[in-house]
Structure 1
Amino acid sequence: MTKEKRPTRRKRLRVPVLPDEEAAIKKMAASTGLPVAVFLRNVGLGYQVRSILDHKAVEELVRINGDLGRLGGLLKLWLADDPRAAQYGERLVRALLTKIEDTRDQMHRIMQTVVMQRPGR
């Protein structure tokens, strides 16, 4: 069985750009996870180029991170024997620790989906 060889690209196009345009193109290519040449070829051929980041998942991670910060603050109060936390018993602290662990697991699941599969080159 022989492998099919991809055709070698021999032609190059020169496109004059301004320095700020070059920076913007490089930034957009990086956001898709593609080299600049592949990014420009795909755009030039009319392909829809998508970011490799799932922005909704990133926003969800920010929300969850805030929740973890608040939970950690409550735990810190209890561990420091702060009078404001005296009303909370050990059962509540154990529930808080379980909530932190569950939230950490939720973050882990979302982090696995944040970076999407890169499109074929």
Structure 2
Amino acid sequence: MNAKMGDVPRRKYQPIRVWCLPEEKAQIEANARDAGLSVSRYLRNVGMGYKIKGVIDAELVRELAKINGDQGRLGGLLRLWLTNSEKLKSQDPDHTRRLIHGVMDRIVTMQDAMLKLVTAWRP
């Protein structure tokens, strides 16, 4: 909070009313949403001369989080296979090797997908 305000919330102070057309209001609300701000904070920042920085596309973040989670699960599975030698002894070594290489190939594929998503994103 601002040092001048102390512990008093902003809503206790005077609001500024702005008259606008419905289309203008919708555009302001969309701009605030795109910037990840409330309409009040967005208008205050614009009025105070601050540069508004948009937030990263939420869909991109969700997709990257999904890929990252999949990679974590594959990495955990790979670690389990490599550290649990007792269970691996009962498996055919060629089959185990193919499984491990398949998991590693899948991890590389996911890393490529993450790189494509990030490099394709333009603010």
- TM-score norm. by structure 2 comes to 0.45
Q: Which has the higher helix share?
A: 2
* Structure having greater relative contact order (Cα 8 Å, sep ≥ 6): 1
